Amino acid sequence: MGVTNLNISILQRIGRLTSLEFLSLQDFNFEGTFPDQGPLHLPTHSHQNLTSLDISINLFHGNIPIQVDAYLPMLSNLNISINDFDGRIPSSIGDMNSLETLDLSYNELSGKIPEHLAKSCINLEYLVLSNNSLEGQIFSAANFNLKYLSRLQLDGNHFIGKIPECMSNSSYLEGLYLTDNRLSGRIPSWLGNMSRLVDLIMPNNHLQGPIPPEFCLLQNLQVLNLVENNISGNLPSCFNPPQIQQVQVSRNKLQGQLKDAFFNSSSLVTLDLGYNRFNDLSHNNLSRQIPHCLDTTSLRDNYDVAFNTTSSTAGGPSASPMRKEETIEFTTKNISYSYQGKVLTYVSGVDLSCNKLTSKIPYQIGNLTRIHTLNLSFNNLTGSIPSTFSNLEQIESLDLSHNNLNGKIPQNITDQFCLAVFSVAYNNLLGKTPERIAQFGTFKESSYQGNPLLCGLPLPKSCGSPPLAPNAATNIEEDSNFMDMDIFYISFTASYIVVVLAIAIVLEICNLNISLMVLTVLKSQNWVEGEKNSDCCQWEKVECNNY
pLDDT of residue 177: 97
The DSSP symbol for 116 reads: H
Give the residue from 66, 6, 57 showing the smallest Cα distance to 36: 66
Q: Is residue 2 part of a domain?
A: yes
Which one of 183, 214, 245 terminates a domain? 183
Per-residue pLDDT of the chain (547 residues; tens, 9 = 90+): 444 445 456 566 666 677 788 888 898 887 877 765 555 556 555 677 889 999 999 988 999 988 888 878 889 999 999 999 999 999 999 999 999 999 999 999 999 999 999 999 999 999 999 999 999 999 987 789 999 999 999 999 999 999 999 999 999 999 999 999 999 999 999 999 999 999 999 999 999 999 999 999 999 999 999 999 999 998 888 888 889 988 999 889 988 776 666 766 677 777 788 788 764 454 544 545 555 555 445 455 544 443 333 333 333 333 334 445 555 565 555 566 555 555 555 557 788 888 888 888 888 888 888 788 888 899 999 999 998 888 888 888 889 999 999 999 988 888 877 888 889 999 999 999 988 888 888 899 999 999 999 999 899 988 875 544 444 444 444 444 444 555 666 766 777 787 777 777 766 665 545 454 444 444 444 444 444 444 555 555 455 555 4
Q: How many CB atoms lie within 10 A of CB 279?
A: 15
Specify the pLDDT at position 30: 79
Say if 52 falls within a structural domain.
Answer: yes
Q: What is the pLDDT of residue 280?
A: 43
Q: Which helix (H) or strand (E) holds 525?
A: helix 485-528
d(CA 261, CA 211): 13
- Cβ(158)–Cβ(180) under 8 Å? no
Asked if the peptide bond before residue 458 counts as cis, ω within 30 degrees of 0, the response is: yes
Instruction: Please give the biggest Cα pair distance in the chain.
Output: 158
What is the per-residue pLDDT for 314? 36
| Residue 288: inside a domain | no
d(CA 87, CA 153): 19
Sequence letter at residue 404: N
Distances (CA, A) of 484 to 253, 384, 404, 468, 493: 49, 17, 20, 8, 15
Domain for residue 173, yes or no? yes
Among 101, 31, 96, 110, smallest CA distance to 67 is for 96
In a domain, residue 17? The reply is: yes
Phi, psi of 516 (to 5 degrees): -65, -35
Query: Number of folded domains in the chain?
Result: 2
CA 532 from centre of chain: 102
CA distance 340 to 152: 20
Order across the sheet with 133-136: list the strands: 31-32, 59-63, 84-88, 108-111, 133-136, 158-161, 182-186, 206-209, 230-234, 253-256, 277-278
Residue 469 lies in a domain: no
d(CA 202, CA 395): 32
Q: Of 159, 183, 207, which residue sits at a domain end?
A: 183
Q: How far apart are CA 241 and CA 214, in angstroms?
A: 12
Asked which of 150, 183, 216 is the last residue of a domain, the reply is 183
Q: Which long-range contacts (CB under 8 A, 24 or more apart) does 40-46 make?
A: 40/11, 40/12, 40/14, 40/15, 41/12, 41/15, 41/16, 42/15, 42/71, 42/72, 43/15, 43/16, 44/70, 44/71, 45/70, 45/71, 45/73, 46/16, 46/18, 46/71
* β pairing state of 327-332 and 335-340: antiparallel
Q: Do the beta carbons of residue 259 and residue 238 sit within 8 Å?
A: no
Sign of the dihedral through C-alpha 48, 315, 98, 138: negative
pTM of the model: 0.63
User: Which residues span the domain enclosing 439?
Assistant: 358-455
In-domain check, residue 260: no
CA-based Rg of the chain, rounded to a whole angstrom?
A: 40
d(CA 167, CA 163): 8
**Do residues 122 and 141 make contact, with C-beta atoms less than 8 angstroms apart?**
no
What is the model's pLDDT at position 485? 56
Residue 19 domain-assigned (yes or no): yes
Q: Can you tell me the distance from the alpha carbon of 117 to that of 105, in angstroms, rounded to the nearest whole number?
A: 16
Give the CATH number, domain containing residue 416: 3.80.10.10
DSSP state of 435: P
